[in-house]
Chain A
């Protein structure tokens, strides 16, 4: 049997992530400084880990209710309200998921299918487009511009909307650009979206890592709240990537439907992670602050460093990524990253891995030590001089 022939068309046609290849190369090499890995280098704060361990010691090893422990949903509700002024009823407006990733997937699957279009601004998290395609829907790309500081503009949305548009995915602070949207930026796009029957899937995983101003959610606009699914989680802010725990907040009518997929496909999120997450929200704040402070210092050093060696980059004020323009090198992103890796053993991710319009850029993460950043900058400068 030709198994490939059995595979669904939309799965076959979805390309694997372009990032993979570089990591495979790195595995063969020594002394590589990786600015490629998109996750915190901090370990989960001990107070959080300890609660996870304690729950296991007490034999708390069973399922939770499908939506997650009510105590955790209550804590999430308090957090969303205290932190962002967003009110969600823990009873039926919050769903605990397996990382933000599951929430993104089930939100898309709930609202879009064959014949539907989902607007995906790029460069952005590689999973958005893939999930839209797996759902059988068609991704409609918006090309964000460096000169707009990679913010989403109302005209871009207007041009992308058709009568098939079911949803738009917005992800700020943004991976890979580090861009954020402030209140005025959102206000302009709310004008376009408020009267449309379009669901907004707002991926706010990096909300806590906002270094200038405060994080704004599109759901804070009263006219948008009911049609927005806010997705957040513990991976980035609390350095809990491996625990796989996140959540979706939204109108009960939306969440009820998403919950069905979650129920049948997942049952419930890992309960050890849920116990740990309760502690994260109760007592994790000082640690969030400490990590954010450290990221911010590295961010400033990295941006300054790139500029000094001649790589233009706009000031990223969110997440933990810098997205420098490498056109000065005369190389395309892929070639730049491959040669940099071979020649100087520094790993960055080509910008086009996050959408075609990311060509001409590379993504570097400062979720690594200041010593690594310092050394990487020396090597990148040497690389640029060798060209």
Chain B
């Protein structure tokens, strides 16, 4: 049931506990308990809204940054990753395979702000060898959701 619950929440975390209970063929209390347990165990980390900032007037930029790092003896990449992800500007940070080591997502109000953050904070970190910053120009899809696609129910009346 927990797996099914997670799959429901992943799609839509705004369903009521009662609705989820009906979908799962169980009681509201069971669902509440399961969610509490998933929260406590750190399996569910957050219930976030996916926002298309483009639709607002506020300036807002995202950059994907490829970071090359010299791993430290005994600590690998974890220590330097920690130094990076602790900045609130960093919204995501992963260790990846391939031509670089850390994939870092930085958000800010302007390109200059993000660029300065990279230059002043990221790049100078001891074991960081290089940073390649890619500004996002247009977001097509994120978290399984296509941007700028409004669903219009244009199914025509058919006799069946």
Contact = CB atoms under 8 A, between A and B. Distances in A.
Chain B interface, >50% SS class: loop
Contact of A20 (B7, B25, B153, B157): B157
B159 A293 contact: no
B75 to A, nearest CB: 40
A297 B4 CA distance: 10
Interface string B1-37: 0000001100010010001001101000000000000
B22 A301 contact: yes
Given A37-B155, A41-B153, A300-B25, A127 B160 contact: yes
A26 B157 contact: yes
Chain B residues touching A, range: 10 to 19
Chain A residues touching B, range: 20 to 34
Contact of B159 (A41, A126, A300): A126
Interface of B: 7-8, 12, 15, 19, 22-23, 25, 153, 155, 157-160
A297 B15 CA distance: 11
Contacts of A34: 153
A23 B155 CA distance: 11
A19 interface: yes
A288 B22 CA distance: 22
A175 interface: yes
16 contacts: A16-B159, A17-B159, A19-B159, A19-B160, A23-B157, A24-B157, A34-B153, A36-B157, A37-B155, A126-B160, A127-B160, A296-B23, A300-B23, A301-B19, A304-B22, A374-B19
A126 B158 CA distance: 11
A370 B15 contact: yes
Nearest to A372: B153
Contacts of B157: 19-20, 23-24, 26-27, 36-37
A358 interface: no
Contacts of A300: 22-23, 25
Instruction: Indicate the member of B7, B19, B157 with the most A CB atoms within 10 Å.
Output: B157
A280 to B, nearest CB: 20
A135 B28 CA distance: 54
A38 interface: yes
Contact of A175 (B153, B158, B160): B160
A84 interface: no
Contacts of B25: 300
A335 B19 CA distance: 30
